[in-house]
Amino acid sequence: MTKDLFERIRQDKGPLGKWAEQAEGYYVFPKLEGPILNRMSFKGKKVITWSINDYLGLANHPEVLKADGEAAIEHGMAYPMGARMMSGHTPFHEQLEKECAAFVHKENAYLLNFGYQGIMSAIDALVTKHDIIVYDMDAHACIIDGVRLHAGKRFVYRHNDMESFEKNIKRAEKMAQETGGGILVITEGVFGMRGEQGKLKEIVALKKQYNFRLMVDDAHGFGTLGENGRGTGFEQGVQDDIDVYFATFAKSMAGIGAFLAGNKDVIQYLQYNLRSQIFAKSLPMAMVKGALKRLDMIRTMPELKEKLWQNTNSLQLGLRAAGFDLGSTQTCITPVFLNGDIPEAMAMVNDLRENHGIFCSIVVYPVIPKGLIILRLIPTATHTQQDIDETITAFSAIREKLENGAYKQVILSH
Ligand SMILES: Cc1ncc(COP(=O)(O)O)c(C=O)c1O
């Protein structure tokens, strides 16, 4: 007999869904209210927010709010209607593409409505079943899903491990000789969970020995690294060797949308083959004009990135001086590694939010090994030294309680 699909869904809510009853509204789907700033409201209390990727503090900047508002009043949220290829094209979309491309030193760029779907679709468009994909084990879900669409072979290498990378490139070359295909290597510029940079320099160096094309998801590097925030390729001096560069507008740009950049012929190919854009409505004008404003600010206001890094250095130095393990972060992403189980992690975050006014994300098993807890802090240009000092004091207090076993058997108060 055929099973009822929903019966299974009721029984197995999925790896995250199974926590819904205990976690919903607090640890997952929390409602942060008020302007997007260093301090926001959570359940009626002010908290220092360390979980928002508004790196440069543009989300609530008066000039950005003005540009967004004016564009929405002029065009509404509908214009232009239709997909880019059909009726959703405007000179402003084209201008934004030109400016994004110029900013990251590529010949041309193509806008995406969402980074996630855009990356998936780009991977799908760039390879055929004869081609081979080689990608980092810790790649973001959108890369994993893009690879899932691939009908040919794929090889995954251990995270940032160049020995494993080279071994897999060799396997891929051998395979490509049999299939007559090519090789696409995919990595992130910055790995969002632990803050390490992808080893772009080392990967690019191997281009001399092996024949592959390199795609870099620089969601977290764009705006935060390299001269003027031009990204991880600039930070590592290898931008010219990135064949397909990706950045989202959802982080430093504090908007929505994304872009791919590369050589003219590759971008033209994507314009005609990227299913996520051919069969979906174009980005609304308010997003496009808003993105032009943000890009201009990133380009002309280096003080935003300077402030971000001043806060980052102060936070990271302060936490390290207080004895915290921040792993091997090389970016603004600040993971604080602690030891404990999931109930302890929940009790600790509850204590941070309720008694210390600090809101940050927790990462636990199965994302990281059992017994490990990461409290992940995202500094921004809007944070103050007082936010940082209060946070370090609070972290020292909760670490002491964690080590004393105080979070075992805690009845949560939210
Ligand atoms: C590394 C990385 N790639 C891609 C995305 C997806 O981008 P978007 O939010 O524009 O869909 C994210 C998250 O936003 C990300 O962290």
Residue 408 located in a structural domain = no
Q: Of the candidates 254, 283, 300, which is a domain's last residue?
A: 300
Ligand 1 atom with minimal separation from the 188 CA: 1
Same domain, 286 and 341: no
User: Going by DSSP bridges, is the β-strand pair 39-42/32-33 parallel, antiparallel, or unpaired?
Assistant: antiparallel
Q: Decide: 248 in ligand 1 pocket, CB within 6 A.
A: yes
> Would the pTM count as exceeding 0.75?
yes
Q: Of the candidates 240, 271, 300, which is a domain's last residue?
A: 300
Q: How far is the CA of 221 from the centre of ligand 1 (A)?
A: 11
Ligand 1 probe mutation, 51, 52, 142, 376, most atoms within 8 A of CB: 142
Radius of gyration of the chain (CA): 22
pLDDT in single tens digits along all 414 residues of the chain: 898 999 999 999 888 888 888 888 998 999 999 999 999 999 999 999 999 999 999 999 999 999 999 999 999 999 999 999 999 999 999 999 999 999 999 999 999 999 999 999 999 999 999 999 999 999 999 999 999 999 999 999 999 999 999 999 999 999 999 999 999 999 999 999 999 999 999 999 999 999 999 999 999 999 999 999 999 999 999 999 999 999 999 999 999 999 999 999 999 999 999 999 999 999 999 999 999 999 999 999 999 999 999 999 999 999 999 999 999 999 999 999 999 998 899 999 999 999 999 999 999 888 888 999 999 999 999 999 999 999 999 999 999 999 999 998 776 656
Q: How far is CA 393 from the centre of its chain?
A: 28
Same domain, 335 and 219: no
Q: Decide: 115 in ligand 1 pocket, CB within 6 A.
A: yes
The parent domain of residue 396 ranges over 31-55+302-403
Residue 414 located in a structural domain = no
Alpha helices, H only, 78-216: 91-103, 115-126, 141-149, 162-179, 200-205
- The rounded distance, in Å, linking the Cα atoms of 9 and 404 is 40
Q: Decide: 336 in ligand 1 pocket, CB within 6 A.
A: no
Q: How far is the CA of 107 from the centre of ligand 1 (A)?
A: 23
Q: Decide: 217 in ligand 1 pocket, CB within 6 A.
A: yes
Q: How far is the CA of 122 from the centre of ligand 1 (A)?
A: 14
Q: Decide: 192 in ligand 1 pocket, CB within 6 A.
A: yes
Query: Measuring from atom 14 of ligand 1, which residue has the nearest CA?
Result: 250
Encoding tokens for residue 251? 């982080």
Same domain, 172 and 307: no
How many domains is the chain built from?
Answer: 2
Amino acid present at 3: K
Instruction: Note the pLDDT of residue 409.
Output: 72
Q: Decide: 138 in ligand 1 pocket, CB within 6 A.
A: no
Q: Decide: 194 in ligand 1 pocket, CB within 6 A.
A: no
Ligand 1 atom with minimal separation from the 251 CA: 14
Instruction: Note the pLDDT of residue 247.
Output: 98
Ligand 1 probe mutation, 112, 116, 123, 367, most atoms within 8 A of CB: 116
Instruction: Note the pLDDT of residue 414.
Output: 60
Instruction: Note the pLDDT of residue 135.
Output: 98
Amino acid present at 110: Y
Same domain, 210 and 131: yes
Same domain, 295 and 311: no
Amino acid present at 172: A
Residue 404 backbone phi and psi in degrees, to 5: -85, 0
Instruction: Note the pLDDT of residue 277.
Output: 96
Q: Decide: 219 in ligand 1 pocket, CB within 6 A.
A: yes
Residue 219 backbone phi and psi in degrees, to 5: -50, -45
Q: Decide: 255 in ligand 1 pocket, CB within 6 A.
A: no
Residue 23 located in a structural domain = no
Residue 342 located in a structural domain = yes
Q: Of the candidates 300, 319, 352, which is a domain's last residue?
A: 300
Which distant-in-sequence residues (6+ apart) come within 8 Å of 203 by Cβ? 162, 165, 185, 187, 214
Please give the order of strands across the beta sheet that includes 361-363: 334-339, 372-377, 361-363
**Contact present, 122 and 215 (Cβ < 8 Å):** yes
Same domain, 384 and 365: yes
Residue 11 located in a structural domain = no
Domain containing residue 384: CATH number:
3.90.1150.10
Residue 192 located in a structural domain = yes
Q: Decide: 112 in ligand 1 pocket, CB within 6 A.
A: no
Q: How far is the CA of 215 from the centre of ligand 1 (A)?
A: 15
Q: How far is the CA of 226 from the centre of ligand 1 (A)?
A: 19
